Structure 1
């Protein structure tokens, strides 16, 4: 009997061991679970000429910004699948390779073609989904809607699949259908609890509907089952730290930072490391809480090693937080100049919103709150283009609110807050009281 993946797609291997390890490895990847790399290596060892575990292993390398290893395995997968692979497998390898190489427009086009032909190829379908997916980092202003619509188009092919429910539910949540999104995601989570992406997606729904206490309990109850080496371990605790800040509990947020988010403690991929650290420390400072300067300097030193040059706009914005908070005007100016050059050359997908946020953060750090607010006001509707999730992007709106307050524009700040309170009724005013000093 021919080997197949869990979704019924043929696999070009005659090795039961290779096919079994590959199926297991893909499930672990789709769940954000530990053991993914090791399991894929077992598949490779069982059948070195089987291309698919090589490209999947390349994707794991890419998660951790191991670019040379990722590109090397992608190149090998291309060679292998050309010799022994179906049309579906060749398209699968090519699509993932384009994503690994950072060729976003080509990767998106290839993904959509592939999914049209093989909608149950879950690993390819996963590429544009999530806060760090191809759609989110494409510069699209409607990437939340695009993810939701893509999931709706293929939903008939997945039924009650635990992975698909997780991702389609999260897409609903981010697209504004929070109640339905939470219900769908929780259904997927109940089907497969060893699924960090599901726990994460449920936390996003709870963030949006104001279930802060329930989110805190979920993390406390579930996180002991998830190894600290898990790709989302630190980020899930970051969500818990945001919940602490909702209640003005800076001490708990800093405790979580020390435990799992600071560079010396985290095992997160580089992008999670810099974004979780910078955004939490910035929020703490913006809300009026004391953040030891040593924490900023330590995190900034690690971030500079990981992202020394301008590249991904979402990363650049967080690098701007580090530069602004540490008063490193030279670093801020250098990265801003590189971004403006890319914008002038038409190579900045997110567009003018990126340099605008840079300038606003610099003004905020200089305590020029009026300029910060004036710079952000016209681009708030474009912040979505930097990617990430709504919970992550809300940091920019937070900065705007605090800048309005500190520049005496209390009525405008109240209007923004009222809109948020309507969306998230559990929001506590305590943090804004601290922010105004």
Structure 2
């Protein structure tokens, strides 16, 4: 480390634990490290990297200011810390692909640099890079052991990468092993939760989250997302009342970050597809979404959810205005940089057009547009579970368009894992009743 201050070093170590566990305030801890050694650049670089992982324009500006400070101070005297600065600078400029390559270069030389692993892992997720979600932790794990602090978190990241790559049994085993090292790892709880979702074990998943609730739901910065999964399990059982109660208690109050608003929007949209009147809740939620650049146009995945919130509020004039602003921002995403430009043009904007067709009642066009983009939608990030919203909306549009064969064709994808769930039966009944 580029400091002689034991206090500053200790604060950074504690901040790393908080970054990985979502318990505590890592930004405040990094501020304490800066105060303990104002001349040490690395805490500022780490703080910038952490702000960038929020995936929003506002925090990215704070990150740029911090990186400007670091640059003015000489970017640090330690090679590893200078390498972190270069990676964070690339991420701040919107080249997330290059940033991940630079964080990986750090891991080649320093495979136990857990901050480099965490930042790259999160941006792999945002970029929809399932291959590196799996492989990046695999490449460093042989350098770790159970005796080392933070080892369980590395296993938890590995488990999630395995799940997103379709290795469900191995992902569950790895996630459970991570929790054997550290039971209070919400990311590992989350990885196993994803396995239950993908394998159609919705009752087991609901029990899993409830049984470990004390480990992930109390004063934890990641709890909103595990509550999202609890709502998905409820909807798979067609218990829309339980899902709505989760939204009201957990998602409606948590709207400060785009990551939180994404989950709240996704829960409400799924409930809307199931015939639940959630327009008033959407009306409250949409006010947290910014549809104008530079906030819009920063990350296509967020932009699509902002559009869904405005559509769900059922205000035609507002919906059209928001759609025009979002389309302009996504078509020329100046605030997001090169990676988001690609994600917007290839995935985000075509999906936004399909959702607007849906909102206007152009059901056949909506179904066709969703079907055309859905198989490459991993290219703008999110998990398999999150992107399932595209399939559900496609089926709803196809039914409304009188395209029962298309709806059935897509529904069959659920059969290997979820043929007998109440949600699948609901869609079968809807298709049958309409056709």
Query: Structure 1 162/202 Cα, relative in aligned 2: closer, same or farther at 3 Å?
Result: same
Match of 2:91 in 1: 99
TM-score of the superposition, structure 2-length normalised?
A: 0.87
Q: Secondary structure at the match of 1:272?
A: helix
Match of 1:339 in 2: 330
Displacement of 1:152: 2.5
Equivalents in 1 of 2:92, 2:341: separation in Å? 19
Match of 1:330 in 2: 321
**What is the correspondence of 1:6-405 to structure 2 with a 5 Å cutoff?**
11-63=1-53, 65-80=58-73, 82=75, 84-129=76-121, 133-138=122-127, 143-160=129-146, 161-226=151-216, 230-262=220-252, 265-266=253-254, 270-291=257-278, 293-304=279-290, 308-325=295-312, 326=314, 327=316, 328-341=319-332, 348-350=341-343, 351-405=345-399
Q: Is the 8 A contact 2:265 2:309 kept in 1?
A: yes
Q: Is the 8 A contact 2:327 2:352 kept in 1?
A: yes
Query: Structure 1 299/19 Cα, relative in aligned 2: closer, same or farther at 3 Å?
Result: same
Query: Structure 1 219/108 Cα, relative in aligned 2: closer, same or farther at 3 Å?
Result: same
Gaps of 5+ in 2: none
Equivalents in 2 of 1:100, 1:223: separation in Å? 35
Equivalents in 1 of 2:83, 2:244: separation in Å? 46
Q: Is the 8 A contact 2:50 2:119 kept in 1?
A: no
Displacement of 1:61: 3.6
Q: Is the 8 A contact 1:136 1:386 kept in 2?
A: no
Equivalents in 2 of 1:340, 1:93: separation in Å? 30
Displacement of 1:314: 0.5
Query: Structure 1 306/169 Cα, relative in aligned 2: closer, same or farther at 3 Å?
Result: farther
Query: Structure 1 14/306 Cα, relative in aligned 2: closer, same or farther at 3 Å?
Result: farther
**What is the correspondence of 1:387-426 to structure 2 with a 5 Å cutoff?**
387-424=381-418
Displacement of 1:375: 1.5
Query: Structure 1 338/66 Cα, relative in aligned 2: closer, same or farther at 3 Å?
Result: closer
Displacement of 1:226: 4.4
Query: Structure 1 61/339 Cα, relative in aligned 2: closer, same or farther at 3 Å?
Result: closer
Query: Structure 1 305/381 Cα, relative in aligned 2: closer, same or farther at 3 Å?
Result: closer
Displacement of 1:391: 0.7
Equivalents in 2 of 1:341, 1:21: separation in Å? 41
Equivalents in 1 of 2:364, 2:428: separation in Å? 19
Q: Secondary structure at the match of 1:66?
A: helix
Query: Structure 1 211/423 Cα, relative in aligned 2: closer, same or farther at 3 Å?
Result: closer
Q: Deviations over 1:114-136 (max 9, x none)?
A: 2222222111122221xxx3234
Equivalents in 1 of 2:265, 2:2: separation in Å? 44
Query: Structure 1 280/227 Cα, relative in aligned 2: closer, same or farther at 3 Å?
Result: closer
Query: Structure 1 370/100 Cα, relative in aligned 2: closer, same or farther at 3 Å?
Result: same
Displacement of 1:424: 4.0
Match of 1:8 in 2: none
* Off by >4 Å, runs of 4+ in structure 1: 225-229, 305-308, 433-437
